[in-house]
Amino acid sequence: MQHSPEKPQQVLETRDKQSLFDRARATAVELARLILTLATGIIGALSLAAMHAPPNGFTSNEKILIRTALICLVLTVACALSGVAADSASDSSWGWALYHNEHNDKGQWHKKRNQWRQVRKILFIIVVLGFIAGITCAGLLILALVAAPIKIAA
C-alpha cells in the first residue's frame, strides 16, 4: 500500500491555516473582551455619577431612564460573561474534535465542530446585543445626567 506524498503536506498546510485562523480568532476575541471591559467600566463610572442625585432629586422620567440604564448594564455584563464562557467551552470542544479526528475519523468531529459554530454564532449575537445594550445604557445615563442640571437651572 503506497501513501500519497501530497497528503501529509496537505494535512500540514491545513493545520497551518487552522493555526493562523485560531490565532486571528483569539486576537479578535481578546480585542472584543477589551472593548467590552472598557465599555463596562465607562458605563459603571456613569452609573456611579448618576447615583449622586441633584439637590431637587430626579424626576420620575429620569428615574425610569436610570433604572433602564442599570438593567442594560447588567445585561451587558451578563452577555460579556456568556461570550467568555462560550469561547473557552468551544476551545475545549475544538481540541476534543481534533483529537477525535486524528484517532478515529468517522466524521463525528465535523458534526461537533458545526454544532459549536452555530452556538458561537448565537452567543456572538448575544454579546453584540449586550454591547448595544451597554451603549444604550451609556446614552440613557448621559441623557439623565444632562437633563437633570437643565431642569435645575430652569
**pLDDT for 1:** 47
Cα torsion angle, 13, 115, 102, 30, sign: positive
Distances (CA, A) of 127 to 4, 36, 79, 132, 146: 45, 9, 5, 9, 28
pLDDT in tens, the chain (154 residues): 455 555 555 555 665 566 666 666 766 776 676 677 667 666 666 666 666 656 666 677 767 766 776 776 676 666 666 655 555 555 555 555 555 555 555 566 566 667 767 777 777 777 677 677 767 777 777 776 676 565 555 5
**pLDDT for 142:** 72
